[in-house]
Chain A
Amino acid sequence: QQQVKQSPQSLIVQKGGISIINCAYENTAFDYFPWYQQFPGKGPALLIAIRPDVSEKKEGRFTISFNKSAKQFSLHIMDSQPGDSATYFCAAPNSGYSTLTFGKGTMLLVSP
């Protein structure tokens, strides 16, 4: 099963700062890499996703940067807000897309 290694485990950022979360994967065969956001007591929700035919995807304050040769992708949250405080998970599909393998999550706290 594809492994996804996520770091850091937790992150504290001041309001207005940039939050950066990194993920590394093993299998180069697949091409869909989503980031999910989860608030306490809720299910995860898709935040942004990228296919490796592009090196970067931006949606509002959220950007995924993708480095195919290094097998790494990262989430950047610009102008971080207290409402961004949540746990973020990167993920990657397995063979056949029959499941997603999730990273272990990053707990982000944006201080006012």
Chain B
Amino acid sequence: GEEVAQTPKHLVRGEGQKAKLYCAPIKGHSYVFWYQQVLKNEFKFLISFQNENVFDETGMPKERFSAKCLPNSPCSLEIQATKLEDSAVYFCASSQSLGLAGINEQFFGPGTRLTVL
């Protein structure tokens, strides 16, 4: 599609429960990025993919967070055993290409608001 799609729009979980978020990048875009935006508007990078391969995972809290981008499926971000501090809006973005010769614009989805109670 022409827009990044994210589902669900809202997700409520009790502390300790699992949360799974989905992202469908723009068709033809090879790169997918996940960001966490907390209440004070700050964006925290989590992970990026080049097609189905992890590109950069330096921002991922590896103990509880995992992500995948499999062929012909939406990308997913999963949080095992959610904590209160995981409450945030999670944005997915996609990009056609990267680097000096590429188009660097990241197109963002509408986000998934996760509330952990």
What is the interface of chain A, defined by CB distance below 8 A to chain B?
Answer: 1, 31-32, 34, 36, 41-46, 49, 87, 89, 93-94, 96-102, 104-105, 107
Contact = CB atoms under 8 A, between A and B. Distances in A.
B98 A100 contact: no
Contacts of A89: 41, 43
Nearest to B49: A98
B89 to A, nearest CB: 9
Given A97-B98, A98-B55, A43 B110 contact: yes
A34 B45 contact: no
B51 to A, nearest CB: 14
Contacts of A98: 48, 55-56, 98
B41 A87 contact: yes
Given A98-B48, A98-B98, A107-B41, 11 more contacts: A34-B105, A42-B110, A42-B111, A44-B91, A44-B108, A93-B104, A96-B98, A99-B33, A99-B58, A99-B59, A104-B40
Contacts of A43: 4, 91, 93, 108-111
A99 to B, nearest CB: 4
A45 B33 contact: no
Interface string B36-77: 000011110100100000011011000000000000000000
Interface in B87-117: 91, 93, 98-100, 102, 104-111
Given A93-B104, A105-B41, A99 B48 contact: yes
B61 to A, nearest CB: 15
Given A102-B42, A102-B43, A97 B99 contact: yes
28 contacts: A34-B104, A34-B105, A36-B108, A42-B111, A43-B91, A43-B93, A43-B109, A43-B110, A44-B91, A44-B108, A46-B106, A46-B107, A94-B56, A96-B98, A96-B99, A97-B99, A97-B102, A98-B48, A99-B48, A99-B58, A99-B59, A100-B45, A101-B45, A102-B42, A104-B40, A104-B41, A104-B42, A105-B41
